[in-house]
């Protein structure tokens, strides 16, 4: 299982982005790993925050950036599996052209986030964990 911060570094090596976009790219990497392999890619979970799925530990690491673009990463992330960069490149190919706001809107229309939010009103604080089984189940349906 990969470290969330190494995955974040990899995405940041592909270009500067704001925190919201970084969060969503990591979420989609986890979701698609669950759907395609039945295993978590990273050692994190995602919560159904007001602006879409968020890994709390990743949020704490990059929260001071606010909406600014995070500096690109110049090093080589330390992955346990040599196939991880290939997988992350595919995630970036699918979602990297979207802005953080566009990715937020995309996740707001998807069942895993909606179900985890439950009856919380739009824009309110929610720390419910997004079910990994819901993530796997939903993203598998997109393959058909």
Residue 42 forms beta bridges with which residues? 2
Q: Backbone phi, then psi, for 42, in 5-degree steps?
A: -125, 160
Other beta carbons less than 10 A from residue 78's beta carbon? 11
Residue 144 pLDDT class (50, 70, 90 cuts): confident
Cβ(87)–Cβ(4) under 8 Å?
no
Whole-angstrom distance, CA of residue 50 vs CA of residue 41? 24
- How many alpha carbons lie under 13 Å from residue 133 in its C-beta half-sphere? 0
Digit-coded pLDDT (tens) for 61-84: 999 998 899 998 988 899 999 999
Whether the model clears a pTM of 0.85, i.e. scores above it, the answer is yes
pLDDT tens by residue, 18-68: 999 999 999 999 999 999 999 999 999 999 999 999 999 999 999 999 889
**pLDDT band per the 50, 70, 90 thresholds, residue 93:** very high
- Whole-number Å distance between alpha carbons of 111 and 87: 23
Q: How many angstroms separate the CA atoms of 89 and 66, rounded?
A: 25
Of the candidates 43, 41, 39, 24, the one whose C-alpha atom is nearest the C-alpha of residue 112 is: 24
Residue 91 has pLDDT above 90, yes or no: yes
User: Which of 1, 42, 37 shows the shortest CA–CA distance to 139?
Assistant: 37
């Amino acid at each position: 299982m990969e470290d969330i911060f190494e995955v974040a570094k990899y995405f940041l090596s592909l270009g500067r982005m704001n925190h919201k976009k970084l969060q969503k790219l990591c979420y989609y990497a986890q979701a698609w790993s669950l759907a395609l392999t039945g295993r978590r890619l990273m050692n994190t979970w995602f919560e159904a925050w007001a602006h879409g799925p968020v890994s709390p530990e990743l949020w704490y690491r990059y929260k001071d950036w606010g909406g600014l673009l995070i500096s690109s990463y110049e090093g080589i992330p330390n992955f346990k599996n040599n196939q991880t960069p290939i997988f992350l490149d595919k995630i970036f190919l699918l979602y990297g052209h979207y802005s953080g706001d566009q990715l937020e809107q995309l996740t707001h229309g998807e069942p895993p986030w909606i179900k985890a939010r439950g009856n919380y009103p739009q824009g309110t604080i929610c720390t419910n964990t997004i079910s990994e089984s819901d993530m796997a189940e939903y993203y598998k349906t997109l393959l058909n």
